[in-house]
């Protein structure tokens, strides 16, 4: 082995992730991170200190929405780290089927609540719950009112004594009534000056879930669409993971990589992952255009596999006919139409409850990433998906595709 080979840096672990469940690298999300840091920093008060004015942008709840793989969970993890760095207690949720005492919301609040500060009825209920837990069959069902009689006073007692940050992932699937109760009480405490922060994340159908709660707080949120990155942010999301591992990416190689991503978060992970593997196999000091060229076949294969998964879900969920119909609408209208136009057109195909069914279908297509909203209209979603359908899925493809 030559001296140069012995001194060459050994490749570390590939920093890019192909699995949708794996949080992607956060490079390129500076605007979202800045908003989260500002919201969390604004409530970093001394124990018992209240907020005198809550009208500022920093105090608004934040909504993060986008298709699978867009980086929602990674941003929530960053929010948790920022909040805990300020000494703020974080309540993280991945589901909210109810307000059960063993659920994430109740346990996250009660765990830091001074029991002596709770009203007598709540202390008695908590004591009763602890006795029930000792039974062989465990705690068992708890009525909705009893659940709320634990969460509401605990949340109030805790919020009046210390800052709280609620980080709610997969909010699309939350129980509407449980979420409504939480949001109403959050708003009441917040208006009363309690230092609270709220970040919600989900697929686009989250908007419908939140709308169904009929809580005015949701009209005062800051919304971030994570479906795409700016070209500059996409380049940063490719470059930074390499450089954090001590690997330099040459400018021309970075240009080639960026051109293969279409600025879509999941494709950034695919391109970065395949180029890393090609670079590691070649044993070069820096990532060069040869590495990107050598990765192209793998990139194309994995993109097509990703498209195939979307098409399979479209078929499984009974959306093929509607997906084709939406493709036709977009092809006939220069690629952009209003959501109302899509829903009206879909509704016309049903004899009964056309509007309700059309709303469900539209949100399902949005959640799949088949389409997504932009500037108050709807356009083709995941880059390249329509082209893939046109070439490989005649049952979905629009006959009007150019």
Q: How confident is the model at residue 2 (pLDDT cuts 50, 70, 90)?
A: very low
Helix or strand holding residue 93 (H, E): strand 89-93
Task: Say whether both 36 and 79 belong to one domain.
Answer: yes
Q: Is the same domain home to 122 and 236?
A: no
% of the chain residues with pLDDT over 70:
90
Please check whether residues 82 and 192 belong to one and the same domain.
yes
Q: Which pLDDT tens digit goes with each residue over 119-169? A: 999 999 999 988 888 888 877 788 999 999 999 999 999 888 889 999 999
Residue 4 confidence (pLDDT) above 50: no
Q: Is residue 397 part of a domain?
A: no
Summarize pLDDT for 213-228 with one digit per residue, the tens. 999 988 889 999 888 7
Strand, helix or coil at 245? Answer: coil
Q: How far apart are CA 77 and CA 300, in angstroms?
A: 30
> Greater confidence, 145 or 22?
145
- Reported as a single tens digit per residue, the pLDDT across 264-319 is 988 999 999 999 999 999 999 999 999 999 999 999 999 999 999 999 999 999 99
Query: Distance between CA 334 and CA 212 in Å, rounded?
Result: 33
Residue 192 shares a structural domain with residue 335? no
For position 7, what pLDDT does the model report? 43
Residues whose CB is less than 8 angstroms from the CB of residue 193 and which lie 6 or more positions away in sequence, other chains included: 50, 51, 52, 54
Query: CA 132, CA 287: separation in Å to the nearest integer?
Result: 61
What's the structural domain count of the chain? 3
- Residue 1's pLDDT is 40
Q: Which phi-psi region, left, alpha or beta, contains residue 140 (left: φ > 0; alpha: ψ -120 to 50)? A: left
Query: Does some domain include residue 187?
Result: yes
Domain range for residue 195?
30-225
Mean pLDDT of 72-88: 92
CATH of the domain at 213: 3.40.50.300
Q: Which of 259, 291, 312 is the last residue of a domain?
A: 312
398 part of a folded domain: no
Residue 106 has pLDDT above 80, yes or no: yes
Final residue before a domain boundary, out of 183, 205, 225: 225
Averaged pLDDT, 21-50: 75
Of the chain, the percentage scoring pLDDT greater than 90 comes to 57
Average pLDDT across the chain, whole number: 87
CATH number at residue 376: 1.10.10
The whole-number average pLDDT for the span 78-100 is 94
Confidence of residue 59 (pLDDT cuts 50, 70, 90): confident
Kindly report the pTM of this predicted structure: 0.82
| Residue 190 shares a structural domain with residue 328 | no
Domain end residue (candidates: 287, 312, 337): 312
80 vs 57, which has greater pLDDT? Answer: 80
236 and 341, same structural domain? no
């Amino acid at each position: 082995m030559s001296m140069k080979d012995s001194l060459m840096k050994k490749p570390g672990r590939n920093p890019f992730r192909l699995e949708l469940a794996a949080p992607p690298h956060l490079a390129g999300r500076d605007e979202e991170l800045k908003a989260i840091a500002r919201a969390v920093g604004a409530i970093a008060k001394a124990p018992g200190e209240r907020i005198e004015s809550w009208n500022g942008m920093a105090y608004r709840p934040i909504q993060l929405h986008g298709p699978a793989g867009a980086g929602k969970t990674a941003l929530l993890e960053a929010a948790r780290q920022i909040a805990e760095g300020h000494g703020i207690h974080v309540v993280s949720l991945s589901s909210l089927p109810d307000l059960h005492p063993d659920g994430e919301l109740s346990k996250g609040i009660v765990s830091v609540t001074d029991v002596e500060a709770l009203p007598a009825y709540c202390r008695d209920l908590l004591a009763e719950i602890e006795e029930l837990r000792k039974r062989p069959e465990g705690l068992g069902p708890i009525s909705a009112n009893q659940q709320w009689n634990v969460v509401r006073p605990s949340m109030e007692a805790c919020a009046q004594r210390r800052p709280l940050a609620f980080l709610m992932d997969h909010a699309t699937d939350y129980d509407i009534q449980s979420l409504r109760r939480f949001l109403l009480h959050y708003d009441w405490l917040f208006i009363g000056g309690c230092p609270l922060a709220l970040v919600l994340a989900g697929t686009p159908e989250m908007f419908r879930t939140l709308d169904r709660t009929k809580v005015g707080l949701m009209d005062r949120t800051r919304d971030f669409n994570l479906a795409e990155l700016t070209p500059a942010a996409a380049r940063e999301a490719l470059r930074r993971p390499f450089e954090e591992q001590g690997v330099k990416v040459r400018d021309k190689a970075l240009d080639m990589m960026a051109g293969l991503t279409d600025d879509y978060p999941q494709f950034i992970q695919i391109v970065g992952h395949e180029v890393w593997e090609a670079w590691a196999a070649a044993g070069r000091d820096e990532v060069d255009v040869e590495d990107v060229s050598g990765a192209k076949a793998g990139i194309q294969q994995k993109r097509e596999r990703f498209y195939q998964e979307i098409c399979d879900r479209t078929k499984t969920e009974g959306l093929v006919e509607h997906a084709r119909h939406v493709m036709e609408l977009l092809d006939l209208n220069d690629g952009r139409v209003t959501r109302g136009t899509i829903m009206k057109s879909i509704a016309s195909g049903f004899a009964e409850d056309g509007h309700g069914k059309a709303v469900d279908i539209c949100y399902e297509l949005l959640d799949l990433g088949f389409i997504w909203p932009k500037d108050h209209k709807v356009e083709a979603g995941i880059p390249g998906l329509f082209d893939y359908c046109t070439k490989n899925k005649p049952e979905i493809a629009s006959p009007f595709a150019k």
